């Protein structure tokens, strides 16, 4: 019986110490009408014209916007300043095309749907970087304990969290480069 209790306590400790940001996901869609298209190039043209997504002067067909926020508490005790609680939230907004009508041609319809699924999966990959950033912020800040008084701790904690966020922003940027904005993952109409 003590062995089972130990496993239960260990499992509970592992579950409760794991960083778990609060994540919200929303979708913004822009309408596209594809029923009369005759080829993949036409689908691409319609998507590009309809897309409201412009980054650095270039149009994109899908986008993941993310915002990571953090809150923390700390207390001074026994000559040190210890973080006692960290909470993070991740707000994800995915902007994607919404085919009001699909291509009448079965082959084009299937190719568009496969493209859409690959594009969405690529954008989810960006969201994963946001969630990973929030998890790392929680884990890292929760481990911080500084000797002495708590002067300047807010600045130190916020700087550390921002550095983690910047690192994951760069990873997300590199993800686009490595996948050619999802083309190597199937988000291509060729």
What's the sign of the alpha-carbon dihedral 136, 142, 148, 154? positive
The number of residues in the chain equals 190
DSSP code at position 183: G
Q: Domain tally for the chain? A: 1
pLDDT in tens, the chain (190 residues): 333 333 333 333 333 446 899 999 999 999 999 999 999 999 999 999 999 999 999 999 999 999 999 999 999 988 899 999 999 999 999 999 999 999 999 999 999 999 999 999 999 999 999 999 999 999 999 999 988 888 899 999 999 999 999 999 999 999 999 999 999 999 999 8
Task: Note down the domain range covering 103.
Answer: 19-185
Cβ neighbour number for residue 93 with a 10 Å cutoff: 15
For residue 131, what are its two tokens? 């969630």
Does the residue 32 lie in any domain? yes
What is the reported pLDDT for 149?
Answer: 84
Q: Is residue 103 part of a domain?
A: yes
């Amino acid at each position: 019986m003590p062995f089972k209790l130990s496993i239960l306590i260990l499992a509970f400790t592992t579950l409760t110490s794991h960083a778990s940001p609060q994540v919200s996901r929303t979708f913004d869609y822009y309408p596209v009408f594809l029923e009369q298209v005759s080829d993949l190039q036409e689908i691409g043209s319609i998507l590009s014209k309809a897309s409201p997504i412009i980054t650095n002067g270039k149009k994109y067909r899908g986008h993941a916007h993310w915002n990571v926020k953090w809150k923390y508490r700390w207390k001074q005790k026994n000559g040190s300043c210890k973080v006692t609680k960290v909470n993070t939230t991740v707000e994800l907004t995915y902007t994607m095309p919404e085919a009001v009508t699909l291509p009448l041609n079965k082959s084009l319809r299937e190719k568009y749907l496969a493209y859409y699924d690959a594009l969405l999966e690529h954008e989810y990959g960006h969201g994963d970087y946001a969630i990973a950033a929030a998890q790392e912020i929680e884990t890292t800040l929760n481990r911080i304990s500084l000797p002495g008084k708590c002067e300047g701790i807010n600045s130190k904690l916020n700087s550390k969290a921002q550095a983690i966020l910047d690192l994951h922003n760069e990873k997300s940027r590199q993800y686009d480069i490595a996948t050619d904005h999802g083309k190597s993952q199937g988000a291509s109409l060729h």
